[in-house]
Structure 1
């Protein structure tokens, strides 16, 4: 069960074919071997995790149904346990806190773990993205099958894209968030959409599968960004694979020409700033997105405008260019693996849905995996 899916682990532990203690011990061993190189974790809670795993085994033996029985999970940052209570109640075992950006730079697409700078598991000279940096690396490297994240401008979706995993940001305000601006929303990083769907059922109590195909509109740039050609081509090829597999039906309609959300997002994040224009931009983009979703179920875009950059920083390009519009608008969004660039690093396809339609995003992503339309 090394590196297994959350669903597989929970089923095996729940049926008592495996012990949670053994599964967690395996995960701790993987972390111990790999983390000095990857630097995905700030802290590893070995003794506590094994104690919690023994408690899960006792709950299973007592006949308690646990949808995440014995699943090792990583939580974002040292305070991540606050957002993981529902997972722990469902039988998951938190094994450690993942890396987030440290002090010293204005850019957030990196992480700082206990052993140093967090590296992309596909290329150590590249960043994994952030701020849920260690979470994406821990999942992509098979250290854990599921990690929590939070997404204020793309902090789940960008590392998911650059590490080749699934990353879901939920609808703004639908789950509790400590962010005073309302721009950040909780999320999850997993290797499969099925595991992301399990997370969603546990934290929301909802399971509303949608039958494909669903209608989708493609936009390479949202009308204002200037993404590099390669991530656009990879994402477009992924969208075409979804269409060829009968998961989506691409509709011919003008894509949304959104206003650039950067000034509005930055103003809302700056204490004391004049937010009058920010509210104008938000209202106009909301209107344009409402118009788009009146004629399509999904909006498809590249997740990030560039390939993963080096550890020296992103230069003049905002890695958030295609993601933070949906923090401003609050729409749920998911990054799905879209293939690999010429540098050997992954790219992502971003799926955006109406408010409250996480079920639609997850159904499309799960069906795409089932039909072999995802570049894993």
Structure 2
């Protein structure tokens, strides 16, 4: 249980300054004795929010041997925007830039994983709530295909997700969630031929992508191409802005979103008929301050189209802006290809390595 001991030590050392957790379960975690033959035996697990242990993902991961160490911070009551967290010690802080938010709503989950307070965390992604904090905290984040795993969201927009230091760790957890045998420990899928990819800076509608974020994302794509892991073609897709359609579905008016959803699905179906992944920056902006992103600024603008469409999407750490803000590279894949997406991400992330905060 050495991993659990180290995780609890990191919580004791760092959480007062970062406020990643709302509750820490030191006694239960220290006393846990999972089956040593279990696939995730002794892996420190953070769960999203106080009710996180009741989620299907958490139950499956605990059954596979993961040990819950605490419940992570999510936005506080009355928060008008979701890229924020409120933990036991106040606002959740970005481990790379304490004056910035870590993203949300899986805010504490991303911080816990980024700093070694947990090795794995559960999340839920209704508009980018796993991918945005993963990008802004420099970790791997996955939104699963909508409908692949049980979700309590009646709108169908939110899909369960995972946050981990690496895609390899997320792959092991995903195999446990799906009840499928995973690779042998210490192994990774062979990269094979380069991924056939389409690059898009803005999905055809997102105005004002931060030039610093775009430069890091484009440089990451170039590194993956040079390593023989990615082969990009163009032009990128032109999607309809999903903002109003997303709000209509969330508000219980899915009929108002039908035209946008059907139009975007046609574009994406054509794209994935010729390519394996769509690649974008995860967010159009870098982490903002704790007072919010500002009026008419949507950190979700590059993520929430895929909550409407249901495609799996991952965020891989891509590098840093000159002022020290992490940037994520989003990979979107055909519906149901979650295991393949994460498996191929293992090699991609090894090229795009980041350091521990």
Shorter chain as normaliser: what TM range? over 0.9
- 1:307 counterpart = 2:286: yes
Structure 1 residue runs of 5 or longer lacking an equivalent are 1-19
Q: Provide the residue aligned with 2:111 in structure 1.
A: 137
Q: Provide the residue aligned with 2:139 in structure 1.
A: 165
CA distance in 1, matches of 2:136, 2:4: 27
Q: Provide the residue aligned with 1:264 in structure 2.
A: 245
| RMSD value, Cα | 1.4
Contact 2:19 2:89 in 1 (8 A): yes
| Aligned-pair CA distance for 1:369 | 3.2
CA distance in 1, matches of 2:353, 2:272: 24
| Aligned-pair CA distance for 1:364 | 2.3
Q: Provide the residue aligned with 1:246 in structure 2.
A: 228
- 1:127 counterpart = 2:101: yes
Contact 2:131 2:143 in 1 (8 A): yes
Contact 1:238 1:375 in 2 (8 A): no
Q: Provide the residue aligned with 2:314 in structure 1.
A: 334
Q: Provide the residue aligned with 1:29 in structure 2.
A: 9
Contact 1:238 1:374 in 2 (8 A): no
CA distance in 2, matches of 1:184, 1:349: 20
The one of 137, 141, 150 equivalent to 2:124 is: 150
| Aligned-pair CA distance for 1:279 | 1.2
Between the two proteins, the alignment pairs up a number of residues equal to 344
Runs in 1 of length 4+ with deviation above 6 angstroms? none
The one of 236, 258, 277 equivalent to 1:298 is: 277
Q: Provide the residue aligned with 2:263 in structure 1.
A: 284
CA distance in 2, matches of 1:369, 1:221: 22
- 1:91 counterpart = 2:68: no
Question: 1:26-83, CA deviations, whole angstroms, 9 ceiling, x for partnerless residues?
Answer: 221210121110000000011111222xx22xx33xxxx2111111110000111123
CA distance in 1, matches of 2:39, 2:20: 26
The one of 47, 62, 72 equivalent to 2:27 is: 47
| Aligned-pair CA distance for 1:375 | 4.5
CA distance in 2, matches of 1:200, 1:356: 13
CA distance in 2, matches of 1:112, 1:240: 37
Question: 1:154-212, CA deviations, whole angstroms, 9 ceiling, x for partnerless residues?
Answer: 00000000000000110000001000000000111111110011111110134595633
CA distance in 2, matches of 1:374, 1:219: 22
Question: 1:299-326, CA deviations, whole angstroms, 9 ceiling, x for partnerless residues?
Answer: 0000001000000000121000000000
CA distance in 2, matches of 1:170, 1:229: 29
Using the size of structure 1 for normalisation, the TM-score is: 0.89
CA distance in 1, matches of 2:256, 2:227: 43
For residues 216-231 of structure 1, the aligned pairs below 5 Å read 216-226=197-207, 227-231=209-213
Question: 1:320-374, CA deviations, whole angstroms, 9 ceiling, x for partnerless residues?
Answer: 000000000000000001110122110010000000111232122111234x244
Structure with larger Rg: 1
Q: Which secondary structure state, in structure 1, belongs to the residue aligned with residue 274 of structure 2?
A: coil
Structure 2 residue runs of 5 or longer lacking an equivalent are 184-188
Q: Provide the residue aligned with 2:186 in structure 1.
A: none
Q: Which moved more, 1:299-308 or 1:102-111?
A: 102-111
Contact 2:102 2:110 in 1 (8 A): yes
| Aligned-pair CA distance for 1:293 | 0.5
